[in-house]
Structure 1
Amino acid sequence: MTDPGVLAAHPTRSGLMLAGAITLMLAAAWSVQHAIHAAAYGDKNGGRLAAVWVVTFLLLLTQTVMYHCERPRRLTPRIKRQLDALHVAVLMPTFNEDEGYLRLGLESLLRQTRLPDSVHVVDDGSTSTEYDTVRTWWMDAARGAGITATWLRVPNGGKRHAQAHGVRQSPQADIYITVDSDSCLAPNAIDEVLIPFARPSVQSVAGMVLATNHRASLLGRITDLWFVTGQLVDRSALSAMGSVLVNSGALAAYRAAVIRDNLTSYLNEMFLGRRVMFSDDSMLTLYALLRGRTVQQSTAVVFTAIPEKAGHLLRMYLRWMRGSTIRSIWRVRYLPVTRWAYWAHLLRWFQLALGTSVVGWLLIVEPFFYGHVPPSSFAVVPFLIGWAQGLRYLAIARSDESFASRLYTWALMPLAVIWSWLVLRPVRWYGMVTCAKTGWGTRQNGAEVSLSVEPTRISASQIEEPTVTLVKLLDPLMDTNVETAYPAR
């Protein structure tokens, strides 16, 4: 039972079979409609377009099936006894974090149904504050809860080095849980994120990340809609194959050996002669992939602060795309070709290239070289598909938000489609070209998001069950790449 006033959320599975049927019908209708228009061109160009729609539909169908195969494990008495014997250490690096968000996250650790054995906060040389008040409160509170706690202030060396200090403080840990300094865990998050480790082959577990402050701005709602949908579909499909490519910095768990055995290379990653300061979560996930399965536990929920201003979001996204490019090179180099993760990674790039090429062909090549005007549905279908994709967003019930509010966010999907194509897609390509710039790029002058008002919260017992949940369609016209799903700000 969750105490009133505590942020909580959980995924729902009501109407899942109906949702799958509706999704497939929409996908089939969309594919057939495009194939008909492509065939109407009546020449080899039409044949090529028809082939593109067939390939797109097959990709869509494959991901839909894979998504339905994901089944988060449930906590049983036997599994609980097994996991309770593990020493769980939480690593929380912080740098110029807002004290309100930092305290909110630390409070959430005290409310866990399964308390961590140790928590290691490392202040990576913050320049805006020294957290004296929060530190004093936390050390006393952790001691009272029976949690071993350390709080170090070290010269600025980057997030990876801050995490390494925490690792060295907890050599006895069996599981490391990495969180951000603004991560507010749902009360059962640690219990849930540990469950998959009952299977020895599982090396890392990704949590489900929601935004704490998404209602602060229109941009916040669009960003939350985009990211949550990506986690529940793209990452869920990869999780079904034990091949999650990128965990979220807001909440992820690793077998201790994954981090300890790779600590030296983690701290000294180089690309084109430069030290890599970002893409830490994807690097840890790659280490885990090389040892076994990497999965998502969608019932392990965490809330995090997202950018409220476009400039902050774009700087963060640019960093992600630079890191994504570097990580792609390492996956090609190190992942065995016999692993699904290797081919899933290549498939992502194929989807990106296919989507961009199709739009360029229809808007530039066909009109100017062949005199063919794109069908009117070309301007309508992407938004309809986007709404179908975004319905998966409604599968998360939150204690701090009504279903009507979530429905309003879902209705904003057309804006998310436009934002993705006109702004984020160009930034993505620019990030690929400039991937050699390996600096962090955000929060250098203090916190960029502040908790000035206590989040609106209601009792978790009032969380309603949506009557229908839908899987997200795989559509190259919507760039929902889970590689951008909330790494550390």
Structure 2
Amino acid sequence: MSVTVTRRRSTAIVLGIVALLIIAAWAGHHAVETLRALDGDGTQFGLLFTIGFAFIVLQTILYFLERPVAAWPWHEKLVLDKLHVTVPVPVYNEDPELLRRCLWSLLEQERRPNLVYVVDDGSDLAKVDYGQIYREFGRAARLAGVEARWVRTANQGKRHAQGVVFADTSDTDIYVTVDSDALLDRRAIRELLRPFRSEKVQSVAGIVVASNVDKNWLTRLTDLWFVTAQLVTRSGLSAVGSVLVNSGPLAAYRAAVCRDNLDGYLNESFMGRRVSFSDDSMLTLYAKMRGRTVQQPSAVVLSAMPETVSHHARQYVRWMRGSFIRSCWRARYLPMTEVAFWLHALTWVQMLVSSMLVIALFVVAPLAGVGLAPWMLVVTAAIGLMQAFRYMTYRRSDVSLGSQLLTLAMFPLAVMWAFFFLRGIRWYGILTCWKTGWGTRQTVEVRAETTVAEAEDPQRALVAA
């Protein structure tokens, strides 16, 4: 099974014009509100809305500056193609068919890795059997000219499984990290390597889309929210070389980032407890402390998203606990002279301001008998739609245009879901940050038959518009 990606600029231009028009309309309103507030005649929330508006305008300008990095042909041939690329594949209670698809997508890359190193982190053999995959993958890798290694260890977590690879591959130049359910676009590795033409770049993030987007309303919602977040928040950070979190399903790091920090990576603790999650953001922080961290929007991977609210909530709680812990380390270790430090601080200001507004508008105001101005909801919806349009810059051949439009049409629900449900989970995660266990994957939670649908042509394509 293989996938391909093709980008078309025209869609992005049209969406850019739409976004700018919405921003212009909103800017006019808030300019008036700010002037009225300065004269003592504005709404009590005028200043807060103006701060929020300024942040979103800055973010919008930044994410429209992001462009895929193209390699010079001579440099790709003489330098990038000669890099020794290792792909660590940590496996723990993964559905065997999802793992199979992941491994074969690595062998079908236009730029194949030099080594695929699978580490079974003590999976429950009563629930999963990887024996046949192990034998078949070894033969297929030899035919593809790719070295393959497969080891089994006692269960010590994803970081330990990656650490086994980092410590055993001294000849590696670039590590491409993936999850065991990742289905890589055929050009994913080649595209990930291209930003490394700059010696300053230390890590590269790929774009993650849901392989099981058509499963139910939750997978659609998650795909819309997650893809949009990557193409808005992370694209903006990438434009200034300050990506703070790479995604586990697809990222690349200079080998020294991983090997030189291996002891700290394996032994991170917070409030006296060993931290077993937030591994991707930890590696990204190590990379940022050495140089630029960017996103390559032309490097795409499909990954299975949670299909139940329980799984989704547990995953997000883990992410938010890790996000808070990582924020502490960023505040401590990122220099105040770095753009990344101040952009990170701005995200916390935005979160605090927006949380205050939610409480004021939806709790305090109703209790005080104050009605909610309709334009507030209109502005929220307009912002959500403006950002959700970014989702349409990726068209997928495994998903019909009608299905994709149906997902986009869920943006009001996605906005409300993030505004209320995910916001509440975020604060819960922060308030329970000392709970540093993984929290998911005690058994197989997503199976292959509920992900990428079978088609007559096994080479399903992912077409980025």
TM-score, scaled to structure 1: 0.89
CA distance, structure 2, for counterparts of residue 42 and residue 63 of structure 1: 25
Contact conserved, 1:24 with 1:61, CA < 8 A, in 2?
A: no
In structure 1, the partner of 2:51 is 55
In structure 2, the partner of 1:440 is 438
Q: How many positions carry a matched residue from both structures?
A: 460
Q: CA deviation at 1:148?
A: 0.9
1:455-485 deviation line (CA, Å, top 9, x unaligned): 245687987775xxxxxxxxxxxxxxxxxxx
Of the three residues 91, 110, 113, the one matched with 1:94 is 91
Contact conserved, 2:5 with 2:463, CA < 8 A, in 1?
A: no
Structure 2 residue 10 is matched with structure 1 residue 14: yes
In structure 1, the partner of 2:305 is 306
Q: CA deviation at 1:25?
A: 1.9
Contact conserved, 2:7 with 2:464, CA < 8 A, in 1?
A: no
Contact conserved, 2:224 with 2:388, CA < 8 A, in 1?
A: yes
Contact conserved, 2:159 with 2:265, CA < 8 A, in 1?
A: yes
With over 3 angstroms needed to count, the CA separation of the structure-2 counterparts of 1:11 and 1:209, relative to structure 1, is farther
Q: SS in structure 1 opposite 2:176? A: strand
What are the residue-to-residue correspondences of 1:311-326 with 2, within 5 Å?
Answer: 311-326=310-325
CA distance, structure 2, for counterparts of residue 142 and residue 459 of structure 1: 19
AA aligned to 1:305 is A
Identity of aligned residues (%): 48
Q: SS in structure 1 opposite 2:449? A: coil
In structure 2, the partner of 1:74 is 70
CA distance, structure 2, for counterparts of residue 153 and residue 461 of structure 1: 32
CA distance, structure 1, for counterparts of residue 62 and residue 422 of structure 2: 27
CA RMSD of aligned residues (A): 2.2
AA aligned to 1:439 is G
Contact conserved, 1:72 with 1:299, CA < 8 A, in 2?
A: yes
CA distance, structure 2, for counterparts of residue 234 and residue 379 of structure 1: 22
In structure 2, the partner of 1:118 is 115
In structure 1, the partner of 2:143 is 144
Contact conserved, 1:99 with 1:131, CA < 8 A, in 2?
A: yes
In structure 2, the partner of 1:327 is 326
Contact conserved, 1:120 with 1:150, CA < 8 A, in 2?
A: yes
With over 3 angstroms needed to count, the CA separation of the structure-2 counterparts of 1:459 and 1:153, relative to structure 1, is closer
Of the three residues 23, 26, 33, the one matched with 1:27 is 23
With over 3 angstroms needed to count, the CA separation of the structure-2 counterparts of 1:465 and 1:320, relative to structure 1, is closer
User: Does 62-71 or 206-215 show the bigger shift?
Assistant: 62-71
Contact conserved, 1:220 with 1:307, CA < 8 A, in 2?
A: yes
Contact conserved, 2:91 with 2:180, CA < 8 A, in 1?
A: yes
Q: CA deviation at 1:214?
A: 1.1
With over 3 angstroms needed to count, the CA separation of the structure-2 counterparts of 1:306 and 1:39, relative to structure 1, is same
TM-score, scaled to structure 2: 0.94
AA aligned to 1:402 is S
Q: SS in structure 2 opposite 1:172? A: coil
In structure 2, the partner of 1:482 is none
In structure 1, the partner of 2:163 is 164
Contact conserved, 2:6 with 2:463, CA < 8 A, in 1?
A: no
Of the three residues 359, 370, 386, the one matched with 1:388 is 386
With over 3 angstroms needed to count, the CA separation of the structure-2 counterparts of 1:433 and 1:440, relative to structure 1, is same
AA aligned to 1:46 is G
Q: CA deviation at 1:54?
A: 2.3
With over 3 angstroms needed to count, the CA separation of the structure-2 counterparts of 1:146 and 1:258, relative to structure 1, is same
Contact conserved, 1:12 with 1:397, CA < 8 A, in 2?
A: no
Q: SS in structure 2 opposite 1:247? A: coil
What are the residue-to-residue correspondences of 1:169-188 with 2, within 5 Å?
Answer: 169-188=168-187
AA aligned to 1:377 is W
Q: SS in structure 2 opposite 1:380? A: helix
In structure 1, the partner of 2:199 is 200
Of the three residues 379, 385, 401, the one matched with 1:403 is 401
What are the residue-to-residue correspondences of 1:208-227 with 2, within 5 Å?
Answer: 208-227=207-226
CA distance, structure 2, for counterparts of residue 402 and residue 459 of structure 1: 16
Q: CA deviation at 1:32?
A: 3.6
AA aligned to 2:387 is Q
In structure 1, the partner of 2:288 is 289
User: Does 11-20 or 383-392 show the bigger shift?
Assistant: 11-20
CA distance, structure 1, for counterparts of residue 461 and residue 264 of structure 2: 47
In structure 2, the partner of 1:483 is none
Q: CA deviation at 1:382?
A: 1.9
Q: SS in structure 1 opposite 2:435? A: coil
With over 3 angstroms needed to count, the CA separation of the structure-2 counterparts of 1:104 and 1:293, relative to structure 1, is same
Of the three residues 102, 106, 111, the one matched with 2:103 is 106
Structure 2, unpaired ranges of 5+: none
With over 3 angstroms needed to count, the CA separation of the structure-2 counterparts of 1:459 and 1:157, relative to structure 1, is closer
CA distance, structure 1, for counterparts of residue 464 and residue 268 of structure 2: 45
CA distance, structure 1, for counterparts of residue 341 and residue 24 of structure 2: 28
Contact conserved, 1:10 with 1:301, CA < 8 A, in 2?
A: no
AA aligned to 2:26 is W
AA aligned to 1:158 is G
1:194-219 deviation line (CA, Å, top 9, x unaligned): 00111000000001111111111110
Of the three residues 425, 428, 436, the one matched with 2:426 is 428
Q: CA deviation at 1:107?
A: 0.8
Structure 1, unpaired ranges of 5+: 467-489
AA aligned to 2:256 is A
CA distance, structure 2, for counterparts of residue 124 and residue 58 of structure 1: 46
Contact conserved, 2:11 with 2:393, CA < 8 A, in 1?
A: no
With over 3 angstroms needed to count, the CA separation of the structure-2 counterparts of 1:230 and 1:179, relative to structure 1, is same
CA distance, structure 1, for counterparts of residue 354 and residue 257 of structure 2: 36
Contact conserved, 1:83 with 1:195, CA < 8 A, in 2?
A: yes
CA distance, structure 1, for counterparts of residue 37 and residue 167 of structure 2: 65
